[in-house]
Structure 1
């Protein structure tokens, strides 16, 4: 069983209004330098937000959602503090509702 953590907001907020690209590039550079496997992904309109588990959270996002998904809770906490206006969540995988955590609509 794997626990995934995420921050979620509108795609526009995460990809245009915030410097998320810089944050992710810096983290990728750091991982490469330290021979660490990537454990975070930017997903636009992820299917798991369509589940009943996240219906309330998705309703709070004004337009097409995007998430940064990770197995690293500390990184998601950092993003929440850095980006401020994002929702956070987590889920265990596999589970009955989420067939593929990386599937997008």
Structure 2
């Protein structure tokens, strides 16, 4: 099993109101320079948020949700501090409800 960590908010907040694109571009550049594999992904309307473990969290996200997921807990902690108004969580996959962490609705 793999543990995934995430920040989630409305798609509009993450992709329009916050400088997430800049942060992700810089991170990609840094990974390329250091020959490191990408371990984070931006998902619009991720299915994992519909699992029973995240029902309460999903209700707090207005409109269409989006999430940045990663296997790097430190990166998600950095995003939480940088973006402030996001929900955070983690899950192991595969599990009884989440077979594909990258599935979107």
TM-score band by shorter chain is over 0.9
Question: TM-score normalised to the size of structure 1?
Answer: 0.99
Instruction: Count matched residues.
Output: 105
**How far 1:94 moved relative to its partner?**
1.1
Query: Stretches of 4+ moved more than 6 A in 1?
Result: none
Q: Does 1:74 align with 2:77?
A: no
**CA distance in 1: counterparts of 2:60 and 2:73, whole angstroms:** 22
Uncovered stretches (5+) of structure 1, i.e. residues with no partner: none
Distance in 1 between residues matched to 2:2 and 2:48, nearest whole Å: 15
Query: Helix, strand or coil for the counterpart of 1:12?
Result: helix
The equivalent residue for 1:60 is 60
Q: Indicate the residue corresponding to 1:22 in structure 2.
A: 22
What does residue 101 of structure 2 align with? 101
TM-score norm. by structure 2 comes to 0.99
Partner of 2:42: 42
What is the rounded CA distance, in whole Å, between the counterparts of 1:28 and 1:46 in structure 2?
A: 21
Structure 2 stretches lacking a partner, 5+ long? none
